[in-house]
Amino acid sequence: MSILVENVSKVYGKQNALDQVSFSVKPGEIVGFLGPNGAGKSTMMKIITGFIPATDGNVKVCEMDVVEKPIDVKKKIGYLAEQNPLYYDMYVREYLHFICGIYKMRDTRKRVDEIIETVGLSIEQNKKIGQLSKGYKQRVGLAQALLHDPEVLILDEPTTGLDPNQLDEIRGLIKKIGAQKTVMLSTHIMQEVEAICDRVIIINKGKIVANEKVDQMNHLFNKNLSFTIEYSGELSKAQFMKIDGVISAQNIRANAWRIECAADKEIRNELFQIAVKADLSVLGLQEEQTKLEDIFKQLTQTAEVE
Ligand code: ADP
Ligand code: MG
């Protein structure tokens, strides 16, 4: 395992920020760590990187305990902290050389050149960090995390505050880098997980509420299916309600309906038959996908009720 978290709890004063958290991340996976503000994402990431100790539980990175082997673990990890702390008065190249020094790396000129190329910093490489746009600052943050060629990347909200173009670029970059590394990235944005990750771990109030492959989330929580269907003429609600498995029928506009049915019923044929009997045609039929966003709401709200 690249990351193994076992029964980790963290108490700040009286506040329980993490409560018996366990999960693992396999080599090569890109895992999204998703949760609302205050859920415990940054706390978990700081414990994995060895910046703060857990109150209870164990964390291993590349089979090494983060408390027993703090230096060896740090060699394996690239960390982009929340809000990307950087030295704004340093020049991009100067800063990257400085980071190489911290890692006691040799042949730093070649490595800095390579990393500048990898993260797409070439045109801005001679500026001061403070002069860069937020998107380029983020690239510098990624560059410093990647310099020592770590196996595992921990990225704490790497896309927060970026404009839509920068967002696409940074997501693309993370995906590209993720082809060769294990990545755990935290976010409170659903689409980000859908766009970049293989798996999602959802945390709410310090507890893991889901841990699933992204493409299997829908099936797990989507108990009902919804179709939108449009006919060439008028039909009544009663005609839909007669179909076995239909839970609700809602007239959404002119001759278009939103039909909800149990996930284990096949009603599409019936929806066509209604048209045939009424001498109408079907202009369109679409199955609605439950968005990860809905699942997230469902999960975090359920957790609140407990
Ligand atoms: P997230 O990154 O998911 O937004 P955090 O891990 O930053 O969440 O915070 C989890 C909870 O722990 C929050 O309620 C936060 O206020 C609290 N917390 C975080 N850091 C500290 C700290 N150093 N001292 C006290 N409470 C903290
Ligand atoms: Mg945070």
Average pLDDT over residues 188-214: 91
Q: Do 279 and 232 touch, CB atoms closer than 8 A?
A: no
Q: Looking at ligand 1, which atom is closest to the CA of residue 156? A: 2
Out of 25-34, 258-267, 277-286, which region has the weakest mean confidence (pLDDT)? 258-267
**Model confidence pLDDT, tens digit, residues 242-251:** 999 999 999 9
Domain 3-219 has CATH 3.40.50.300: yes
- Return the pLDDT at 55: 97
Q: What is the mean pLDDT of the chain?
A: 92
Residue 175 confidence (pLDDT) above 80: yes
Closest C-alpha among 208, 212, 199, 277 to residue 243: 277
pLDDT at 190 over 50: yes
Residues 210 and 223 sit within 8 Å (Cβ to Cβ)? no
pLDDT of 262 above 90: no
* DSSP code per residue over 17-80: EEEEEEEEE-TT-EEEEE--TTSSHHHHHHHHTTSS--SEEEEEETTEETTT-HHHHHHHEEEE
Protein residues with CB under 6 Å of any ligand 1 atom: 12, 15, 17, 35, 37-43
Tens digit of pLDDT for each residue in 74-118?
A: 999 999 999 898 999 999 999 999 999 999 998 899 999 999 999
pLDDT the model gives residue 114: 95
Ligand 2 centroid to residue 38 C-alpha, Å = 7
Q: Over the stretch 233-244, which tens digit does the pLDDT of each residue have?
A: 999 999 999 999
Q: By the 8 A CB rule, do 63 and 187 touch?
A: no
pLDDT value of residue 224: 78
Give the mean pLDDT of 171-180: 92
**Cα–Cα distance between 242 and 41 in angstroms, integer?**
48
Residue in this structure with the two tokens 């380029």, named with its chain if needed:
136
Torsion 29-37-61-144 (CA) sign: positive
pLDDT of 249-259, one tens digit each?
999 999 999 99
Q: Is the pLDDT of residue 200 over 50?
A: yes
Distance 298 CA to ligand 2 centre (A): 21
- Least trusted range by pLDDT, from 148-152, 179-183, 204-208, 215-219: 215-219
pLDDT for the residue 305: 44
- Give the residue, by CA position, lying nearest to ligand 1 atom 19: 43
Residue 271 has pLDDT above 80, yes or no: yes
Instruction: Take atom 20 of ligand 1 and give the residue whose Cα is closest.
Output: 43
**Secondary structure letter of residue 290 according to DSSP:** P
Percent of the chain exceeding pLDDT 90 equals 80
Q: Which CATH architecture has domain 223-289?
A: 2-Layer Sandwich (3.30)
Rounded mean pLDDT, 276-293: 86
- Predicted TM-score (pTM) of this structure: 0.82
CA of 109 to the centre of ligand 2 (A): 33
Q: What integer is the mean pLDDT of 219-230?
A: 78
pLDDT given for residue 223 in this prediction: 66
Domain residue spans in the chain? 3-219, 223-289
Ligand 1 centroid vs 62 CA: distance in angstroms? 26
